[in-house]
Structure 1
Amino acid sequence: MFRKLAVLIFIILLGNAGVAFTDDSHSWDALKGRLVADGFNREYVDTVFSASSLEYDSAMMARKMRALLKRRFEPPAKKVAREKEFDERYIGPIMLAGGYSYLREHYGLLQEIDKQYGVAPSVLVALLLVETKLGFTLGEAPAFNNLANMAASPDPLKFFNELGYERLEEKDMVWLKKRTQKKADWAYKELSALLKFSSENSMVPTEIPGSPYGAFGICQFMPSTAVHYAVDGDGDGVIDLFTRDDALFSMASFLKRHGWKNSLSKKKKLKVIYRYNHSMVYARTIYEVARNLEKIRSTFGPD
């Protein structure tokens, strides 16, 4: 049902916002056909991909594969050194002062969320601090563009010259082809979720700013995460993860549904936080920021 409504909603919202109804590249054809085959309305798909801001650029996938190749060839000792305990940038006085100020300002709302979901205020503020500097760094490129470009680039030969390697051994090429296809399939899943989420919440999908890999909102949810865990925190009938209440409630919803309880041991808390971002350095950083914020709060309030 949402796909039928999405066509009308999208066209009305878009108005004259820089859309040229021509497809200037065949690079999108396979991707568009896949979306239609999976049930999205053809008119809606054509409208989305007609946005003037959308241009095919294989550099999106090249950037990701270049980083993965670099790690593949990294010496074991360097890999161990990279896995530090936690990111100390977020434990410094300036970052913690900003986090504590935010916690104080919104403590009533954070307590309300804690009562409903059982997630302490310090944990939500720690996540918000690390993810988007409390909502000040949201990403510049449209999330849709980034995901569409990755989904449309399953063949590494499209961008091999951009990787910085004159040649690779056969085993490395086999690995590269498999990883590129896997990442393209992942991007397609997230792209589909972004279309679903945006249509259900009256958003123009091509105008949602996001990270280089498609996370968006104050809470930096991936689209599939938003579809499954985002909630309408302020009760206005739509979910807008660029608003404070919806983002905070949605973060708490995610943690609770992954087993979070404030009484958990450190080890179990880290396992839940890891589900938010699959990095143990990240999980330990969130834990340390929350622990420090709680120490400050217990000393200076609010109670």
Structure 2
Amino acid sequence: MSRQLSIFFLILFWGGAALVQAADSHNWDGLKGRLVADGFNREYVDTVFSASSLEYSSSLMARKMRVLLKRRFEPPAKKVAREKEFDERYVGPIMLAGGYSYLREHYELLQNIDKRYGVAPSVLVALLLVETKLGFTLGDVPAFNNLANMAASSDPMIFFDELGYEKLEEKDMVWLKKRTKKKADWAYKELSALLTFSSQNSIVPTEIPGSPYGAFGICQFMPSTAVHYAVDGDGDGRIDLFGRDDALFSMANFLKRHGWNNSLSKEKKLKIIYRYNHSMVYARTIYEVSRQLEKISSTFGPD
């Protein structure tokens, strides 16, 4: 479907809905203008931002900067202590039982994906288990809202009172301003990608539930990741990352295109998993869950 037809479809879809302009719409003017300047259809942008669910708040950016400031001031020893081997919550009997049950239930599909992409079933199930507890935790707030709010909060003085610091040294204020601007620019890039992905797949962007920082679907792809790596796994002509087949195929495609194959060393596998979520604790957790699922499968079988 062409971008123009997708835009027409979305505008037509919204035409019958009772959408009202948000009371604080002035906060979005700069963001909307930037999107239009970057090539998005003005009517499409205005329609998206007229959603009644969209309300400006700087609290999400404040929360992110508060965490980063706390880490900035942490003693080095505490930072090292925080970097545990892997997250033990996901290798307990209940989580592993759920993962193994999912692997058995969808083993034929997972085998087909393995044959096509060279990504073992246990790896995909491990990712799905850690990301969304096999699709059961998807976020409550639209990903669009979270990304728009972060993109519109590039000045830390908007939310400085929420950070918990009466004042900061000049060097820390310089850092905070640069870091906030960088995170806002990142959010804008992801917001643009979300609009692109939505229009390409005839999705209403303001109705996509996501994580606090904009990841969505049972695979928790960031929008830019979805644009580059999501695939139509079930062959219905569109990509739905809340659907099992599309999500699993897309996860495998992501790993494959970053160099994955099942015979790689642990070190190389960890580097590729790190690309999915930039945390070595995360990467080691995925690896360990996958290893445990393989052990269970070798004992009890997949069938």
Q: What TM-score do you get using the length of structure 2 for normalisation?
A: 0.98
Cross-structure match for 1:115: 115
Q: Which residue of 1 aligns with 2:269?
A: 269
**Match in the other structure for 1:56:** 56
Q: Give the match's secondary structure for 2:149.
A: helix
Are the counterparts in 2 of residues 219 and 247 from structure 1 also a CA contact under 8 Å?
Answer: yes
1:105 aligns with 2:97: no
Give the match for residue 36 of structure 1. Answer: 36
| Alignment deviations for residues 56-94 of structure 1 (CA, whole Å, 9 cap, x no partner) | 101111111011011111111111111000000000000
Cα shift at 1:23:
6.4
CA distance in structure 2 between the aligned counterparts of 1:208 and 1:109, rounded to whole angstroms? 26
Note the 1:2-17 alignment, pairs <5 A.
2-17=2-17
1: CA distance, partners of 2:213 / 2:58: 13
| 2:127 pairs with 1:127 | yes
Matched with 1:283 is 283
Residue pair 1:21, 1:47 contacting (<8 A) in 2 also: no
In the TM superposition, what is the alpha-carbon distance from 1:8 to its structure 2 partner?
1.4
- 1:20 aligned counterpart, secondary structure: coil
Report what 2:217 is aligned to. Answer: 217
CA deviations 1:92-134 (Å, max 9, x no partner) are 0000000000000000000000000000000000000000000
Contact kept in structure 1, 2:144 and 2:206, CA below 8 Å: yes
**SS where residue 64 of structure 2 aligns?**
helix
Structure-2 residue corresponding to 1:95: 95
Q: Does structure 1 conserve the Cα–Cα contact (< 8 Å) formed by 2:122 and 2:291?
A: yes
How far does the alpha carbon of each residue in 1:226-269 deviate from its partner, in whole angstroms, 9 at most, with x for none?
A: 00000000000000000000000000000000000000000000
Report the CA distance between 1:3 and its aligned residue.
4.5
Question: How far 1:222 sits from its partner (Å)?
Answer: 0.1
Backbone CA RMSD of aligned residues: 1.2
1:265-293 deviations in Å (ceiling 9; x for gaps): 00000000000000000000000000000
TM-score (norm 1): 0.98
Contact 2:22 2:55 in 1 (8 A): no
Q: Distance in 2 between matches of 1:15 and 1:98?
A: 42
Q: In structure 2, how many angstroms separate the alpha carbons of the residues matched to 1:124 and 1:221? A: 14
Amino acid at match of 1:231: V
Task: State yes or no: 1:255 paired with 2:255.
Answer: yes
Shift of 1:13: 2.3
Letter in 1 for 2:140: E
Aligned mates of 2:277, 2:8 — CA distance in 1: 35
Q: Distance in 1 between matches of 2:243 and 2:159?
A: 37
Q: 1:3, 1:40 within 8 Å by CA — same for their partners in 2?
A: no
Distance 1:7 1:261 in 2: 38
The structural deviation recorded for 1:16 is 3.6
Give, in whole Å, the separation in 2 of the partners of 1:78 and 1:16: 55
Specify the code of the residue in structure 2 equivalent to 1:86. Answer: F
Aligned partners of 2:231 and 2:63: how far apart in 1? Answer: 33
**1:194-205 paired onto structure 2 within 5 Å:** 194-205=194-205
Distance 1:201 1:67 in 2: 35
SS of the residue 1:227 aligns to? helix
Contact 1:219/1:241 (<8 A) preserved: yes
Query: Relative to structure 1, is the Cα distance of residues 23 and 2 closer, same or farther in structure 2, using a 3 angstrom cutoff?
Result: farther
Describe the shift of the 1:23–1:200 C-alpha distance in structure 2 as closer, same or farther (beyond 3 A): farther
Change (3 A) 1:289 1:135: same
CA distance in 1, matches of 2:13, 2:296: 45
Conservation of the 8 A alpha-carbon contact between 2:24 and 2:56: no
Displacement after TM superposition at 1:12 (Å): 2.2
For the 8 Å contact 1:3–1:41, the answer to whether it is kept is: no
The question of whether the paired residues in 2 share the 8 Å contact of 1:23 and 1:49 is answered with no
2:25 matched to which residue of 1?
A: 25
3-state SS in 2 of match to 1:283: helix
Q: CA deviation at 1:2?
A: 4.7
User: How many pairs align?
Assistant: 303
Contact 2:138/2:211 (CA < 8 Å) preserved in 1? yes
CA–CA separation in structure 2 for the residues paired with 1:270 and 1:194: 28
Change (3 A) 1:147 1:124: same
Aligned counterparts, 1:66-105, within 5 A: 66-105=66-105
Please give the alpha-carbon distance, in whole angstroms, between the structure 2 residues aligned to 1:301 and 1:156: 54
8 Å contact kept, 1:147–1:191: yes
